[in-house]
Chains A and B, each alone.
Chain A
Amino acid sequence: MTSAPSILDTFFEECEDLIVALTEGLTEMREGEADDETVNAVFRSVHSIKGAAGAFSLDELVGFAHKFETVLDELRAHRLKTDDNLLRVLQRAGDVLADLVEAARDNIPANRDQVDPVLNELQSFLGDADDEHEEEFVFEAMALDFGAQPVQAGYRVSFKPNHEFYACGHDPLLILKALCALGPAQITVDCDALPDDFAAYDWEGGYLRWVVEIDDLGNDLGILEIFQFVDDLCELSVTPREDDAEPQDEIAPAPAAPPEIVVVNDPAPTPAPATAPTPDSVPQTAIPKADSKPAKRSATSLRVDPERVDRLINAVGELIINQSVISQRLEKAKLPNSSELFADLDDYKLLAREIQEGVMAIRAQPVKPLFQRMLRIAREAADGTGKDVALLTDGENTEVDKTVVERLADPLTHMIRNAIDHGIESPAQRKAVGKPAQGVLSLTARQRSGSIVIEIADDGAGLNRKRIHEIAIKKGLVAGDAVLSEQEIDQLLFAPGFSTAAEVTNLSGRGVGMDVVKTAITALGGRVAIASMPGKGTTFSITLPLTLAVMDGMIINVGGQTMVVPISSILESIRPNAADLSRIGLNGELLRIRGEYVPIIDLADRLGQPRDGRSMTERVLLLIQTEAVPQCALAVDDIYDQRQVVVKSMLGNYGAIAGISGATILGDGKIALIIDPDAIAQNARPLNYEEEPAHVAAG
């Protein structure tokens, strides 16, 4: 049973896709662009989730999906009127369904407080008649469905695979599913040919005949297409159906063989339980996985183990390095400039870059699923606070590294809750200041020269800087008489321990402060910026690198060693004047910049290199911003270059090194260490490593 968890995993992966489709459909419906096909698509998504969930006995999910599906079915049959209330409930139901899927995946009980009200509201659309007869209801609805559009002709497909069909590895289930996707279909199976004596049974024998009645189909092209590859492997007849009898009646005269199964179906694939009971389902057992996937989108995407992609990315990184090593070697070889080698080398370079970009793109994913999840959270937050908030998203197709997308979920959730809870005012307050009662929260993503910018903007009251300042003073984060610029006050939001216990609500303020948000984003190599206008709103912008494997770095020289400082933490580089430097303590120095004094950290000293006695004026100072120290200046010997570097971890083969976050390989094949500015700045006192010969007896 080792495959069971992986099938379950696939199910949840597919659920994610289905929920994306569902959310899209619901959004279209809400925007009034929906036609019948959209409703059908939404119905199919819910139905597929229900069907597959049934195969895994996820009862809660099935129960909810069923109710949801039933309402959608009513809507599909035009027995329900689309109005704002219905759409709102459907939207909520979509959110709850997504929550339930997540709960099932994480194996935690669902939050009944959220589920039940929505369930009741859904029920309220259905009336009382169909209350408990859930399964029958499905049948009933379908029958009426046919009744509603009796004029459209259908087709009867009689299909009996022969021995070769099975021998070639075809699966009748796939064909049946494809047929079902064409329109509402009824499948009957004729088991007459089955041998009575089990011993005479050939497991690849073609004993079964299926008769599929498809409604609402104008021509048989679709059917013939399905049988394109197997039409010589089966007995097949496709005949237009005389649509005078009720579908149910047509089944009735079918031979009354004992194990007859009638499956009433709709365009969505058959849920596994419906086919599983076929006692003679020889070649089609145990494929619940295939069941949950609509036949329509079979080859649109490829699921690959991320590890394989990572290996490829590593190898390509090496290719790039190798290419620059070769160019450097060739330059040294002093070949005549006319040498064809150089032209070839240029081609090599281009190809290598192209491969690199291509491989990087594999890991990239659109932020769309993340945004949809955020919209869900925003709706919940808006409902929870009783605020009226319109949500806008833009740039959903912007692609970011998969890991970045995954790790952004928590910080974004927090920021969105904050924006709704603290940013946007209540409708009454908004009216009082002459704004429309409905607040607007927009979530946008766009690419800007090698990085991704995600913005969360609200049109609320803006940051209450006076209040933030007061809280910061009260919490001892800043001195009472400190005069801070607006920007500095804004940055206080991110200070550890700022989280305002006084205003804990059930939404934000769950003990997680904005400092956690900032930490999470910094860990991804990104930065957060705030722009706020009193009365106009607040915008948080998150700038992230496109991928984690590559980083923008400043190549520097420290005591003769080449190192890299992440650009993301550098504010500016300065060549100091003697007048701006002042001494403090024994060895400490301060730099005056725009009236502020910031401590200077000698990077060479911090990394345990001997002092060379060069004065600060001969060096370059990098003004950096870190968590621990708002600003400090790193003294380095030289700045060489600014370029993208491939980040390599040191942990696997060596271990953690204080002040070093990793390593990279330069064009000449040498290793350069990547400085971790946070760790460097946090170690306020120099590490005097010379005193202790660090090797604690090992072994």
Chain B
Amino acid sequence: MSQQAESPQAKQLEFVTLVAGGQNFCVEITQIREIRRWTPVTILPHSPPHVLGVINLRGAVIPIIDLAVKMGFEKIQPTERHVIIITAIDERIVGLLVESVSEILGVSAEMVRDTPRGPEDPATRAIQGIIPVADDMTKIINLSALLPSPDPVAA
């Protein structure tokens, strides 16, 4: 999250890279609790489209969010092959449905570049920085900004 701004020295950061809405993204590994296979959810009434429902994670009731919809892409049609990334955002535990998870990416903090500012949409607003990877690049999602704390439902 904000560590790399505070200590820009050659600090090592680790990210989990994932695909949502056909694009590459990554989330800092410290925010990730575990990665699970998709399981059917219990639908919540009056929920916004990106909230798929809730699941039982060893007794805790965890909301599952379609990351693609949240970022403004097409809805993911979940199957057994899709995965849920269980993340800890501030005090909350939230599951993110993504298309796939690829690898753990270790980079030094100075590799992280600021997001080039241009026209904004829901997807770019939540991008905290970008990391070049070989020929391609991946975008760091700021989960706190994407799913702000007070009331993700806003309904």
Interfacial residues, chain A to chain B (CB-CB below 8 A): 314-315, 317-318, 321, 561, 607-609, 648-650, 652-660, 663, 665, 669-673, 687, 689, 693-699
Contacts and interface: CB of A to CB of B under 8 A. Distances in A.
B144 to A, nearest CB: 8
Nearest to A671: B42
Nearest to B40: A670
11 contacts: A561-B42, A654-B51, A654-B92, A657-B47, A659-B46, A665-B56, A665-B61, A694-B48, A696-B154, A699-B145, A699-B147
B97 to A, nearest CB: 15
B153 to A, nearest CB: 5
Interface in B112-155: 122, 125-126, 142, 145-148, 150-155
B46 A657 contact: yes
A650 B94 CA distance: 12
Nearest to A663: B61
Q: Which of B93, B152, B153 has the most CB of A within 10 A?
A: B153
B49 to A, nearest CB: 6
A315 B56 CA distance: 14
B58 interface: yes
Q: Which of A561, A609, A659, A671 has the most CB of B within 10 A?
A: A671
Contact of B46 (A648, A653, A663, A694): A694
A699 B126 contact: yes
B78 to A, nearest CB: 16
B118 to A, nearest CB: 17
B60 interface: yes
A671 B55 contact: yes
Given A663-B54, A699-B125, A694 B154 contact: yes
A489 B44 CA distance: 39
Interface of B is mostly: loop
B131 to A, nearest CB: 20
Given A648-B59, A669-B56, A693-B48, 9 more contacts: A648-B60, A653-B93, A654-B152, A654-B153, A655-B152, A657-B44, A689-B45, A696-B154, A699-B147
Q: What 5 A-B pairs come out closest when comparing CB atoms?
A: A695-B48, A694-B155, A607-B45, A318-B59, A671-B42
A314 B59 contact: yes
Contacts of A321: 59
Contacts of B50: 695
Given A652-B91, A698-B154, A657 B45 contact: yes
Contact of B146 (A317, A655, A699): A699
Interface residues of B, number: 39
A607 B59 contact: no
A321 B153 CA distance: 28
A131 B154 CA distance: 69
Contacts of B44: 654, 657, 660, 673
A670 B55 CA distance: 7
A652 B125 contact: no
Contacts of B93: 653
A658 B54 contact: no
A673 B94 CA distance: 18
Contacts of B151: 655-656
A653 B94 contact: yes
Nearest to A687: B46
Contacts of B92: 652-654
B60 A653 contact: yes
Contacts of B49: 693-695
Interface in B24-64: 40, 42-51, 54-56, 58-63
A607 B46 contact: yes
Contact of B62 (A653, A672, A698, A699): A653
Contacts of B54: 650, 654, 663, 671
Given A654-B63, A656-B151, A697 B122 contact: yes
Contact of B148 (A314, A658, A699): A699
Contacts of A658: 45-46, 155
A535 to B, nearest CB: 50
Q: Which of B40, B42, B45, B91 has the most CB of A within 10 A?
A: B45
Contacts of B56: 665, 669-671
Nearest to B58: A318
B42 A672 contact: yes
A678 B118 CA distance: 48
Contacts of A671: 42, 54-56, 61
Interface string B62-74: 1100000010000
Contact of A694 (B43, B55, B60, B153): B153
Contacts of A663: 42, 54, 61
Nearest to A662: B61
Contact of B43 (A315, A561, A649): A561
A663 B44 CA distance: 10
Nearest to A664: B61
A620 B146 CA distance: 42
Contacts of A697: 122
A697 B122 CA distance: 8
A670 B42 contact: yes
Nearest to B89: A653
Contacts of A317: 59
A146 to B, nearest CB: 63
Contacts of B47: 657, 694
Contacts of B150: 655
A660 B48 contact: no
Nearest to A672: B42
A50 B88 CA distance: 50
A314 B58 CA distance: 10
A659 B45 contact: yes
A356 to B, nearest CB: 13
Contacts of B48: 693-695
A608 B63 CA distance: 18
A647 to B, nearest CB: 10
A607 B51 CA distance: 15
Contacts of A699: 122, 125-126, 142, 145-148
Contacts of A561: 42-43
A72 to B, nearest CB: 52
A314 B92 CA distance: 17
A607 B45 CA distance: 5
B57 to A, nearest CB: 10
Contact of A650 (B59, B61, B126, B147): B61
Nearest to B142: A699
A663 B60 CA distance: 10
B2 to A, nearest CB: 15
Contacts of B46: 607-608, 657-659, 687, 689, 694
A422 to B, nearest CB: 43
A549 to B, nearest CB: 12
B34 to A, nearest CB: 15
Contacts of A654: 44, 51, 54, 61, 63, 92, 152-153
A267 B150 CA distance: 57
Nearest to A604: B45
Nearest to B91: A652
